[in-house]
Amino acid sequence: MDKIVLQGGRRLQGTVAISGSKNACLPLMAASLLGDSPTQLHNVPNLRDITTMMIMLGELGAKASLKGTTLTIDPRGFSVPKVPYNMVRKMRASIYVLGPLIARLGRAIVSLPGGCAIGARPIDLHLKGLAALGANIKLSHGYILADNPGLKGAEIVLEGAHGSSVGATNNVMMAAVLAKGITTIRGAACEPEVVDLVTMLRQMGARIEGEGTSTITITGVNGLQCADHTVIPDRIEAGTFMTMAGITQGDILIKGCRIDHMEAIINKLLEIGIEVTPQDDGIRVQGTDHLKPVSIRTLPYPGFPTDMQAQFTALLCLAEGQSTVTETIYVDRFIHVAELLRMGADIQLHRGTAIVRGVKKLSAASVMASDLRASAALIVAGLAAEGLTEVLRVYHIDRGYERIEQKMALLGAKIERLDTTKTKDLGSTSSHWGDTPDP
């Protein structure tokens, strides 16, 4: 198992290119099963989750091959209706194939997703929406069993207790495009990743209106063709590099990102005192030595994204004053706080809100990543910590950040990925660079 080791106190500067969005690509891959011939996706990131989805598509009878950043998916052998637990447990996004299975094959046997480090993430809205279209659904022995006696359009409300659901919106859309009649989804998610899926489905022949709003209308068609589609850039990767510039007083040109997808993130950076300047080919982010405290509340798009909460929590550890970070999407998504405390942060948790009191400095430590975005937050904190920080369980970060240590090294970070079977502890690693961490 690998770990990432990085030396704090180095200013990051230079240019970084943003990869394609993992959160957009996964439902696009599932949607390719709806076509009648091979679909090509461009700007696909080479990530663990992409590989997992490719393997799963193969288990369903389709063929998937990745060459460079182009992914080709041939759905003509798609015939197997079952997705076992050993696939779903690796990646919750496996549930995206539920809609295509019901719509194309007429039946589905899909394992319920297992537990998650950031708390309960139910799929009740997925099942509610598909049942409203006419699918017969029951749960048995940890599996979703569904069959399609004939999907018909319906009026569906998908807004849940914590707002709209990207996953449910995507799944219901993928089933509704082949249902008879008109489907109206109210309380639909507005995220750019949903809009990207609609863009590809429309290219395949789907009839969809209203993407990017809370009401989406789908008129069913008899069949879909292939697509040739370019995946949108990853706004969360871009936001993560923005926090790296901010915490290191750096100067980074982030190329290939979409400013219109990142307004909530940019607005908070400006409020903190970080300079953000649009460029012809991206966004320039310049840090400051006086970070201001702010209040952040995660919300569905266009609000502040939950996937950036951990990274901003790390950034605010060095702000001059008291900040509050309230998590409304996944209220348990604060496991990274315990690790930040080990690095000298001053954070208190109160019922879904982190009260972050800025400190003058962070200290390097050996920390454990609990999930994808927590991994990124610990790396962000490590950039500003005195000494050497080692982040364990970095397989989490491989799920959503393509070659992150290589991209950071090009910006001037002193960072390495090491095999934990060959390094015993932080001390042995630090001697590799000639530094000894503070006791």
Which helix H or strand E contains 381, and what residues bound it? Answer: helix 372-384
What is the pLDDT, as a whole number, of residue 87?
A: 83
pLDDT in tens, 155-169: 999 987 778 999 999
What is the pLDDT, as a whole number, of residue 159?
A: 87
Confidence tier at 432 by pLDDT (50, 70, 90): very low
> Which CATH number do you get for residue 290?
3.65.10.10
Residue 426 falls inside a structural domain = yes
| Residue 110 and residue 35 share a domain | yes
Residue 439 falls inside a structural domain = no
Question: Residue 137: is its pLDDT beyond 50?
Answer: yes
> Which regions of 24-157 does DSSP assign to beta strands (E)?
39-42, 63-67, 70-74, 82-83, 107-111, 136-140, 143-147, 155-157
Question: Residue 113: is its pLDDT beyond 90?
Answer: no
Diameter over CA atoms, the chain: 69
| Residue 265 and residue 201 share a domain | no
What is the pLDDT, as a whole number, of residue 121?
A: 53
Question: Residue 118: is its pLDDT beyond 50?
Answer: no
| Residue 244 and residue 264 share a domain | yes
What is the pLDDT, as a whole number, of residue 331?
A: 84
| Residue 277 and residue 168 share a domain | no
Interacting residues of 405 by C-beta distance below 8 A, sequence separation 6+: 4, 413, 415, 416, 417
Confidence tier at 139 by pLDDT (50, 70, 90): very high
Residue 135 falls inside a structural domain = yes
What is the pLDDT, as a whole number, of residue 421?
A: 76
What is the pLDDT, as a whole number, of residue 8?
A: 98
User: 179, 200, 230 — which closes off a domain?
Assistant: 230
Residue 438 falls inside a structural domain = no
**Cis amide linkage into residue 302, ω under 30° from 0:** yes
Which one, of 8, 5, 4, lies nearest residue 248 by Cα? 8
pLDDT in tens, 19-34: 999 999 999 999 999 9
| Residue 259 and residue 381 share a domain | yes
Q: Are 237 and 262 in contact (CB under 8 A)?
A: no
The catalytic residues are: 116
What is the pLDDT, as a whole number, of residue 107?
A: 96
Question: Residue 425: is its pLDDT beyond 60?
Answer: no
Number of structural domains the chain divides into = 2
CA-to-CA dists, residue 252 to 6, 56, 245, 273, 337, angstroms: 18, 37, 6, 15, 26
Mean pLDDT score, 111-117: 65
pTM: 0.93
Q: Are 276 and 293 in contact (CB under 8 A)?
A: no
Question: Residue 419: is its pLDDT beyond 60?
Answer: yes
Q: Which of 278-282, 382-386, 414-418 comes out lowest in average pLDDT?
A: 278-282
| Residue 107 and residue 185 share a domain | yes
Residue 214 sits in which domain range?
A: 22-230
Enumerate the H helices of 121-218 as residue ranges: 124-132, 166-176, 192-203
User: 212, 230, 248 — which closes off a domain?
Assistant: 230
Question: Residue 116: is its pLDDT beyond 80?
Answer: no
Tokens of 25: 């690509």
For the CA atoms of the chain, what is the radius of gyration?
22
| Residue 265 and residue 403 share a domain | yes
Highest-scoring range by mean pLDDT, 114-118, 148-152, 224-228: 224-228
What is the pLDDT, as a whole number, of residue 436?
A: 32
Q: Supply the mean pLDDT for the chain.
A: 93
| Residue 396 and residue 341 share a domain | yes
What is the pLDDT, as a whole number, of residue 349?
A: 97
pLDDT in tens, 66-88: 999 999 999 999 999 999 888 88
Residue 38 falls inside a structural domain = yes
| Residue 157 and residue 306 share a domain | no
Residue 117 falls inside a structural domain = yes
| Residue 391 and residue 343 share a domain | yes
Question: Residue 135: is its pLDDT beyond 60?
Answer: yes
| Residue 193 and residue 303 share a domain | no
What is the pLDDT, as a whole number, of residue 161?
A: 75
| Residue 35 and residue 15 share a domain | no
Residue 81 falls inside a structural domain = yes
Residue 386 falls inside a structural domain = yes
User: 205, 230, 255 — which closes off a domain?
Assistant: 230
Mean pLDDT score, 224-241: 98
